């Protein structure tokens, strides 16, 4: 089996509530690690339709994982 090369490191900061949500999702889906869970969530997010592009000059704090003010995809129902 070919070994995956991951030469770049991405560091993110989460608050306690965001980390709890990530960990709960990870264990629910039986993901082997936090990194695997984050990669899967990124893959799903990038594949999703209807996401909003960030406005020019948007600040990182505007994109909280659980923040109700953060940009969300439109409701598909």
Instruction: Please state, in angstroms and as integers, the Cα–Cα distance from residue 30 to each residue in 3, 20, 61, following that order.
Output: 22, 15, 29
Report yes or no on 53 lying in a domain. Answer: no
Residue 75 has pLDDT above 50, yes or no: no
Query: What's the rounded Cα separation, in Å, for the pair 69 and 7?
Result: 33
3-state secondary structure of 23: helix
Instruction: Please state, in angstroms and as integers, the Cα–Cα distance from residue 10 to each residue in 6, 13, 32, 69, following that order.
Output: 10, 10, 18, 24
**Predicted pLDDT of residue 76:** 47
pLDDT in tens, 1-54: 456 788 889 999 999 999 999 999 999 999 999 999 999 998 898 888 776 778
The rounded radius of gyration (Å) of the Cα atoms in the chain is 14
**Predicted pLDDT of residue 1:** 45
Q: For the whole prediction, is pTM greater than 0.85?
A: no
Q: Count structural domains, the chain.
A: 1
Residue 64 has pLDDT above 80, yes or no: no
Give residue 33's domain range: 14-47
């Amino acid at each position: 089996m070919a070994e995956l090369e991951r030469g770049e490191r991405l560091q993110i900061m989460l608050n306690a509530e965001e980390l709890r949500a990530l960990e709960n999702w990870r264990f629910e889906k039986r993901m082997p690690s936090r990194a695997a869970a984050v990669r899967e969530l990124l893959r799903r997010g990038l594949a999703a339709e209807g996401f909003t592009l960030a406005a020019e000059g948007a600040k990182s704090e505007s994109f909280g994982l659980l923040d109700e003010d953060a940009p969300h995809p439109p409701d598909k129902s």
